[in-house]
Amino acid sequence: MPTLDRPIPVQLRIVLVGTSHPGNIGAAARAMQTMGLESLHLVAPECDPFAPESQVRAAGAERVMSSMVIHPSLGDALADCQTVYGCTARRRSVALPEVTPRAAAPQLVAAALRGPVALLFGRERTGLENSELQRCHAAVHIPTDAEFGSLNLAAAVQVVAYELRLAALASIESSGSQSVTNTASASIVAAKQAEGSELGRASDEPPATHAAMERFFEHLEQTLIDIDFHKGRHSTTVMHRLRRLFLRSSMDAREVRMLRGILAESQRMARLARPS
C-alpha cells in the first residue's frame, strides 16, 4: 500500500523504447527517483544503459538504476500490463484518446493499484512509432509551446513523474478515514467514466493483460482472413479500428477467453464450409 514517503504504486512502470543516449537513461532514472517512481524498464536500448555517462547523470539514483529491467521487445516489456499509455510529442495518424499529464496521472495511479501499468516514452529523435502507439489505451501529450515544443526525453519523464506524484499524494490525502484502496477504486470509476469507458465496473476477473490482448488481436486478424471478411481489400485500417474498439472496452480475462472461443468456432465453421 502506498505511503506518503512512496505514494506511487510500484506496479507503475516507466518504459523507455529504443533510447540511444546513455545520459538520458541516467537522467530519466534521477527524475523518477526524485518523485518516488521505482520501476524503470528499457526496450532494446541502442546504447549501454550502464555507461559512465548514464551513471553520472543518474546522480545517486541507485534504487532505480539497480532495479532497471531490459527487454528485447516492447511486447515482452508489456506482457503482464493491464493498462498502457504512450507519451507522444505530436499528433499521429493513430486515433487515440489524448490526455495531458495532469489528466492522465490519477488514472495511471489508480490503475496501478489493480495491476501492472506502463507509461511509454519513445526514441529521442522520432518518439514512439505508430505500431507502438497501437498498443496503448491513450496518448499523453505535454502541452509545450507550439514554436519550440521539443522536450528532452528525461525532461518529459520529469514532467510526467511530477504529475504522478501530485496525483498519488492527493489520493492519499483525500482518503481521510477510508483506506487508500477504497479511494483508488473510486478514482478508477470516476476516471474511466470521464473517458466514456467501462473500465471502472466491478468484475470478478482481472483485466486482460497486454499479452492476452495481443494474442486476441492476432486471433481476430487470422479469423477475418479465414472467413474472407476483407474480400481482397487491405486489412490494416480495419484492424486499427478494431484495436481501438476493443481497447476502449477494457475487457477482463474471461471476456477475452469468450471472444476467442467465438473466433475459434467461426474458424471451424469456415473450414467446414470450404469445398472438399
User: pLDDT for 183-236, tens place per residue?
Assistant: 444 444 444 444 444 444 445 788 899 899 889 989 999 999 889 898 878 878
- How far is CA 12 from each of CA 118, 140, 207, 249, rounded to the nearest angstrom? 6, 15, 15, 21
pLDDT value at position 93? 65
Q: What is the mean pLDDT of residues 92-120?
A: 91
pLDDT at 87 over 80: yes
Q: Give the domains, in start order, of the chain with CATH numbers.
A: 12-195 (3.40.1280.10), 210-273 (1.10.8.590)
Copy the grid coordinates of residue 265: 468456432
User: pTM value?
Assistant: 0.76
Residue-averaged pLDDT of the chain = 86
pLDDT (tens digit, 9 = 90+) per residue, 230-253? Answer: 887 887 888 888 988 898 888 999
Strand ranges inside 189-239, DSSP E: none
- Give the residue carrying C-alpha cell 476493443: 246
Q: What is the mean pLDDT of residues 167-177?
A: 78
Q: Read out DSSP for 241-258?
A: HHHHHHHHHT-BHHHHHH
**Residue 214 near residue 256, CB atoms below 8 Å:** no
98-99 and 12-17 beta bridge pairing: unpaired
pLDDT (tens digit, 9 = 90+) per residue, 15-39? Answer: 999 999 999 999 999 999 999 999 9
